[in-house]
A and B are shown apart, each in its own frame.
Chain A
Amino acid sequence: MDTATTTAHGHTAGDHGGGYHPTGILRWLTTTNHKDIGTMYLTFALIMFFVGGAMILAVRAELFQPGLQLMQPELFNQLIGVHALVMIFAALMPAATGFANWQIPLMIGAPDMALPRLNNWGFWLLPPAAILLTLPFALALFGIGDGAIATGWTFYAPLSVQGGIGVDFAIFAVHILGISSILGSINIIVTIFNLRAPGMTLMKLPLFCWGWLITAFLLIATIPVLAGAVTMLLADRHFGTHFFNAAGGGDPILFQHLFWFFGHPEVYILLLPVWGLMPHVLATFSRKPVYGYKGQVYGFVGIGVLSVVVWAHHFLTAGLPVPALLYFMYSTMAISLPLAVLFFCWIATMWRGAMTFETPMLFAVGFIVLFGIAGLTGLVLADVAADAQYHHSYFVVAHFHYALFAGGIMGVMTGVYYWLPKWTGRMYSETLGQWHFWLTVLSFNLTFMPQFFLGLAGMPRRIPDYALQFAEFNAISTVGAFILGISQLLFAWNIIQCARGHGPQAAGRVWEGAEGLEWELSSPPPHHSWAVQPQVK
């Protein structure tokens, strides 16, 4: 993407006369341009997607057969936890923030984000955090410490109190990532509330911006709770407090309450931007207006509110009192209602359209079907009695990968294919895109469908070695995972080609049926867009 945005930059630098325009690395370090920052977020996310993917491929290789072949349990435990932290905090979240940076100003007719310097800082906090997260692996090679955090991404005390320096590194990484997310969220809220083009009332705001607006509020509400929880953990580890130690009057379950008060909304933080994006893509390729705009907005708000009151369904086996179990069961089931509104609107948007199936549309349809599986299995997971069997098992692993890979990552891929021509001014290779889609869908199901059955048969998650009855499904899952991993190279190649300026020139309105302000601009848009404020009728 670098070359493309440089071209855009060069094009408009002349328009602005003798401003300060450093080149090379300094340009990226000092940039306050929302497009440059969006590009950096997306590039960072793509790199970390491969880092996190490589980690889990090592894990899947170990799980190919029963027995310990490639690694000891210590390293296995580190890889599963860091995989999750990297994918959630360093791949999915930055990708969504990258979308927000690129698209929100274009979509609402603003010249830039409201707080550009804060924006720059928000991005540059990420690389140090990613280094903190992964550095302990390298330190262990030199005999310093015993590796990265080995508690899974959930940090559960007292295991995390017992852990080595990897836990401290992860705590500080989470603090920094949290600051970055809050800065990004403040910026998005301020931008949406203040910089909309005249005539764009909140109920005319594009749905992508609505999804992000709810996400931003959820982040501001919940990240401080996570930061508090890990700070209490830090104090328990080093400063003699006993928040999570029963012997000192604390309670290990308190940690789970605090963690999941953040952790459950986090799921929707990852998904709301994608849900916001879907109607744009579906309407574009159905050549038809979005169905149920208001319903979707209220759906987002409803899910946002519900997401902060259902957290304990993540530990229903911890021995909660019966009234709490019932409350969390029924409130969790209630999430299916606003979610059903979204599914209804997505399908109704396609209904009686004139559909074509370019890569973004394929990913959107694939997203709806596979995310449907995540939603439906989530509904049964809410049931406390059945959850006793599903919980802590591979059933849950399969469920949340349907939610976060098929829902989150495939949603991001939808957005990348949809907007890449707008960002780079070049069309990606449609053939490669279609290959990428079919390989991804096929191998994703090959990887995770067997995991549902593994869970039902009784395989616990996070074990480095397993009983012989689980061998066949694990072997299939590993084969699927490697195909899935390798297929993503097509994705990277397609992006790199566009960024290098290969491929046919894209028009301003890239897609025949695309509606919205961002398509009024050239592809790529000028370095400073909307110098003249547009009017929305």
Chain B
Amino acid sequence: MKRYATTVAAFLAVQLAGWTCAARAEFNWNFPPPATPIARDTLAIHNEFMLIITALFVVVFAIMIYSLARHRKDAGHAPANFSGPRGALQWFWVLVPFAILLFIDFVLMGIPAFHAVIEMEDTKTRADMVVKVTGLQWKWQYEYPDDGIRFMSNLTTPPEQIAGAVAKGEHYLLEVDNPLVLPVGKKVRVLLTATDVIHTWWVPQFGVKRDAIPGFIRETWVKIEAPGVYRGQCAELCGKGHGFMPVVVQALPEAEYAAWRDAKKIELAQAAAGADRAWSKDELIAKGKEVYAKQCAACHQPEGQGLPPAFPALSGSKIVNGPLLAMDGKPLPDSHVDRVMNGKDGTAMQAFKNTLDDVELAAVITFERNALGNQRGDMIQPAQIKALR
């Protein structure tokens, strides 16, 4: 008896000591502070449920530990011989826990859970605006259908930080170039889809997590209560870049949001206008270099050597060094332009015509043909891409 008590005490002491040391470092023991009504509800339900299951755990195992301490051979306890409830009174005591459990399952937990589900799934009632989120390997695209705004959101953490060559920044792996910008206090209906594999859009402080499924639209909603920057991540394994496609949402007061929206519209209009002028080869290569670094280098590698066999090399590639267009100006199947614009089924190579604009497509194609060890010397104009769409 004494020996076991000592062992148990030692065990608990070690665990406790571990947790005490741990308590000094930075730890989050629960959900991050909620930023939407759903997240507040979820946190409240979660806290309540944790109390319920902790109480169940303590009560059940207190009974068991009492038995372990009392009903021992070395304490001189003689074994009883019962193998089931005997008589009405014992049956009553056997059935009571199950009545309690039924009540916990379907009333105490079941009713709040029902209301939370209904609220969470009500994406349409009094929605103020719609945002479309598209998951791609391994970035997010955000689109505001009412305003004609569309842009990509890429991880900005430098590879040197990931490799450990330089110190990691405060928002390591949770930082992007273009966050999703949303107004505070508006019910935003979020439509989700994907172009390649299943991704999951998740911002813990919003209390919502929903899969983005290629070929289907799923939806959820958020109503952010305070301005700020909210960070989350893709939550469904989506390939090698799964850990590197954060979700960053910037919530702005309504007036600032309107200003951002108008500025973004002008910026995008200017970019689109670029498609109508003639670009020089050097301009395209310079622009293409930026696009390549953001969109292509993760798989095809910064120097174009690729990671065969999944991600082929572009340096010396037959496709990249093939002809640009057919003699009559039509696209050639399986040509460089076709592959970049339309992707390849069943591989990670996606149809970039959905995510890049004419200038970006022309630039990256021209860059690939004249860099990364390739010297085709030719170029394609944004206007030509526009005509091919």
Residues on A lying within 8 angstroms of B by beta carbon are 66-69, 72-74, 77, 145-146, 150-152, 156, 158-159, 161-162, 164, 237, 245-247, 251-253, 286-295, 315, 317-319, 322, 325-326, 329-330, 333-334, 336-337, 340-341, 343-344, 347, 350-357, 365, 368-369, 372-373, 376-377, 379-380, 383-386, 388-389, 391-393, 438, 441-442, 445-446, 453, 456-458, 460-469, 471-473, 476, 513
Contacts and interface: CB of A to CB of B under 8 A. Distances in A.
A353 B76 CA distance: 10
Given A159-B237, A377-B53, A457-B28, 11 more contacts: A252-B214, A290-B83, A326-B117, A337-B101, A355-B67, A376-B57, A380-B46, A385-B38, A456-B31, A460-B235, A465-B243
A44 to B, nearest CB: 29
Given A337-B101, A372-B60, A388-B120, A456 B71 contact: no
Given A68-B163, A472-B27, A322 B117 contact: yes
A120 B106 CA distance: 48
B225 interface: no
From DSSP, what is the main secondary structure of chain B's interface residues? Answer: mixed
A152 B208 CA distance: 23
Interface string B201-228: 0101001111101111011000000000
B218 A467 contact: no
29 contacts: A77-B240, A146-B309, A158-B198, A159-B238, A162-B197, A164-B310, A251-B216, A287-B79, A294-B84, A319-B213, A330-B110, A337-B101, A347-B64, A354-B73, A373-B57, A380-B50, A383-B109, A388-B120, A391-B209, A438-B11, A457-B30, A460-B233, A460-B234, A460-B235, A462-B237, A466-B173, A466-B243, A467-B174, A467-B231
Interface string B347-360: 11000000000000
Contacts of B204: 389, 457-458
A392 B235 contact: yes
A313 to B, nearest CB: 12
Contact of A73 (B31, B231, B241): B241
A531 to B, nearest CB: 32
A330 B106 contact: yes
Nearest 6 Cβ contacts at the A-B interface: A246-B215, A385-B116, A463-B243, A458-B204, A319-B218, A457-B28
A315 to B, nearest CB: 7
B287 interface: no
Given A347-B64, A453-B28, A333 B106 contact: yes
Contacts of B38: 385
B25 interface: yes
A386 B45 contact: yes
Contacts of A158: 196-198, 214
Contact of B80 (A73, A161, A353): A353
A162 B239 contact: yes
A336 B105 contact: yes
Interface string B96-120: 0110011001100110011011111
